[in-house]
């Protein structure tokens, strides 16, 4: 029985780690180690809730419910607001799923845990592929203008190039533009566009 518990923990950690590996390859906030530990910890809680209180009045589902609530604190830690955008939501959801996979593995539901892992990994990879091919990327540019009156002409050039300008601010000869470009080839598109602008020096781009 003890080795059965160890196998459950090992399966939970490996399955959760697979999701974390995908997140780590994408340079996200939480990677292999975090997902591995979350899934393993969830499996351990499930095993404890089922077998640590035999012969007593207990509710095995109560511990699992607390795991679902508690994982929210870890998930909230990877969600950040940066550059006018919310980042880390998908990674937080991945941690949430990793906890569920850990609970399933801890309960001995290996097929369900494996299927959930495969579906999660396929979803993440598929959406990454479609985002790279068809999605947009927001780029913030800080430009030094030789002539402040040239800004309207620059904005007109961007409009003619079908580049969406989301925000534009001008301060002390510096224009800060937030533009939306195609994710697939945004670097080439950006430099091609800026090479056509006269009287402009790129100070920063991110």
Q: What tokens were used for 155?
A: 């904005």
Where residue 78 falls among pLDDT bands split at 50, 70, 90? confident
> Which pLDDT does position 116 carry in this prediction?
93
Q: Tell me, which fold does domain 136-205 have in CATH?
A: Alpha-Beta Plaits (3.30.70)
27 vs 20, more confident = 20
Q: Is the dihedral of CA 102, 103, 109, 114 positive or negative?
A: negative
The tens digit of pLDDT for each residue in 135-175 reads 667 777 777 777 777 777 777 777 777 777 777 777 777 77
Q: What tokens were used for 135?
A: 């999605």
The tens digit of pLDDT for each residue in 35-60 reads 999 999 999 988 888 877 666 556 76
Distance, CA of 75 to CA of 86 (rounded, Å):
13
For residues 169-203, one letter each, b for 16 or more C-beta atoms within 10 angstroms of the residue's C-beta and e for the rest, the string is eeeeeebebbbebbeeebeebbeeebeebeebeee
Sequence spans of domains, the chain: 2-133, 136-205
Would you tell me how many other CB atoms lie within 10 Å of the CB of residue 113?
26
> Which pLDDT does position 15 carry in this prediction?
93
Distance, CA of 144 to CA of 25 (rounded, Å):
35
Q: Whole-structure pTM over 0.75, yes or no?
A: no
């Amino acid at each position: 029985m003890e080795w059965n518990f160890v196998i459950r923990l090992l399966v939970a950690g490996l399955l959760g780690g697979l999701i974390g590996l995908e997140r780590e390859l994408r340079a996200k906030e939480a990677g292999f180690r975090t997902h591995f530990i979350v899934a393993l910890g969830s499996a351990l809680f499930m095993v404890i809730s089922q077998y640590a209180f035999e012969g007593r009045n207990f509710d095995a589902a109560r511990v699992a419910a607390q795991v679902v609530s508690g994982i929210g604190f870890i998930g909230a830690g990877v969600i950040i607001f940066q550059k006018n955008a919310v980042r880390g939501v998908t990674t937080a959801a991945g941690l949430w799923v990793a906890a569920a996979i850990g609970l399933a593995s801890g309960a001995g539901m290996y097929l369900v845990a494996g299927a959930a892992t495969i579906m999660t990994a396929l979803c993440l990879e598929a959406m990454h592929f479609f985002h790279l091919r068809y999605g947009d990327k927001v780029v913030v540019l800080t430009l030094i203008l030789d002539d402040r009156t040239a800004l309207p002409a620059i904005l007109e050039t961007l409009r003619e190039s079908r580049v969406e300008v989301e925000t534009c601010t001008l301060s002390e000869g510096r224009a800060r533009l937030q533009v939306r470009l195609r994710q697939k080839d945004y670097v080439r598109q950006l430099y091609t566009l800026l090479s056509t602008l006269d009287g402009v020096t790129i100070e920063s781009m991110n």
